[in-house]
């Protein structure tokens, strides 16, 4: 059973997305988030193409937009739990 709490929106080959994932790996369990490539969804491209990477808390639809650092990510996670 999947227990995904967050979506990490980005694109393949995006170095900023890679940086955001490294931050997520420091604070979240692997099963808590999933990478979502926005290229396959026109709505996501429209929403996030100029903002990626974006970490979205799925249940509340709140989002943390890049740029963010480890402390900002920790505060976001704390605020969504």
Establish if 17 belongs to a structural domain: yes
- What is the mean pLDDT of the segment spanning 2-20? 94
pLDDT at res. 81: 82
Tens of pLDDT, residue by residue over 28-59, are 999 999 999 999 999 999 999 999 999 999 99
Residue 24 pLDDT > 50: yes
The pTM (predicted TM-score) of the whole model is: 0.93
Number of structural domains (the chain) is 1
Q: Which domain holds residue 11?
A: 6-80
Establish if 1 belongs to a structural domain: no
C-alpha 45/C-alpha 18 separation (Å) is 18
Please report, for the domain that includes residue 64, its CATH number. Answer: 3.40.30.10
CB atoms within 10 A of CB 11: 19
Q: Is 13 left (phi over 0), alpha (psi -120 to 50) or beta?
A: left
């Amino acid at each position: 059973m999947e227990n995904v709490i967050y979506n990490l929106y980005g694109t393949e080959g995006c170095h900023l997305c890679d940086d955001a994932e490294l931050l997520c790996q420091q604070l979240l369990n692997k099963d808590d988030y999933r990478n979502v490539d926005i290229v396959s969804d026109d709505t996501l491209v429209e929403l996030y193409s100029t903002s990626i990477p974006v970490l979205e808390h799925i249940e509340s639809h709140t989002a943390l937009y890049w740029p963010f650092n480890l402390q900002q990510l920790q505060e976001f996670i704390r605020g969504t739990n």
